[in-house]
């Protein structure tokens, strides 16, 4: 079975994430959003009360591009993500998100100053569930 992963999020896939999709989820094609849809997703206005009309181009792109059973990797604005994940479940897509592990390194510098660095690494993709 051929399965696509449609990307609805604001950054690039890491090599680890791409490997996970291909090896563990049976993905044969990774599909990024077109520029105009990506620009809309990256610039969700914080001052509008409803996102339903604003997100219409994202949902239309999904309908035109995805097939039942395809993955929709969706992360971003909480309300927008909720709308897209629920829509995906309703029409037979499989919405997922990436989980990460955070590792903190501390270094004590001269003068007793503590410097922290945080490294986030991909663990798994998890399904959104209704």
- Sign, Cα dihedral of 19, 21, 26, 31: negative
Indicate the domain borders of the chain: 4-127
Give 13-30 pLDDT, tens digit per residue.
999 999 999 999 999 999
**Tokens matching residue 114:** 């503590």
Residue by residue, DSSP assigns 47-112 as T-S--TTTTHHHHHHHHHH--TT-EEEE-SSHHHHHHHHHHHHHHT-EEEEEEEEEEEEEEEPGGG
113 alpha carbon, distance to own chain's centre: 36
Give 50-89 pLDDT, tens digit per residue.
999 999 999 999 999 999 999 999 999 999 999 999 999 9
In this prediction the pTM is: 0.86
Mean pLDDT along residues 32-36: 97
Distant-in-sequence, close-in-space partners of 79: CB < 8 Å, separation ≥ 6: 51
- Residue whose pair of structure tokens reads 């291909």 in the numeric block: 22
User: Residue 1: what pLDDT?
Assistant: 66
95 bridge partner residues: 72
State the Cα–Cα distance between residues 13 and 102, nearest whole angstrom: 17
């Amino acid at each position: 079975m051929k399965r696509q992963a449609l990307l609805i999020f604001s950054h690039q896939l890491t090599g680890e994430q791409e490997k996970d999709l291909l090896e563990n989820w049976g993905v044969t094609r990774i599909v990024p959003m077109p520029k105009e849809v990506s620009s809309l997703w990256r610039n969700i206005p914080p001052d509008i009360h409803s996102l339903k009309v604003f997100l219409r181009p994202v949902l239309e792109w999904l309908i035109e591009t995805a097939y039942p059973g395809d993955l929709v990797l969706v992360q971003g604005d909480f309300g927008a993500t909720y709308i897209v994940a629920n829509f995906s479940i309703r029409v037979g897509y499989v919405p997922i998100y990436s989980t990460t592990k955070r590792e903190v390194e501390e270094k004590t510098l001269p003068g007793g100053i503590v410097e922290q660095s945080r490294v986030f690494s991909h663990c798994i993709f998890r399904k959104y569930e209704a």
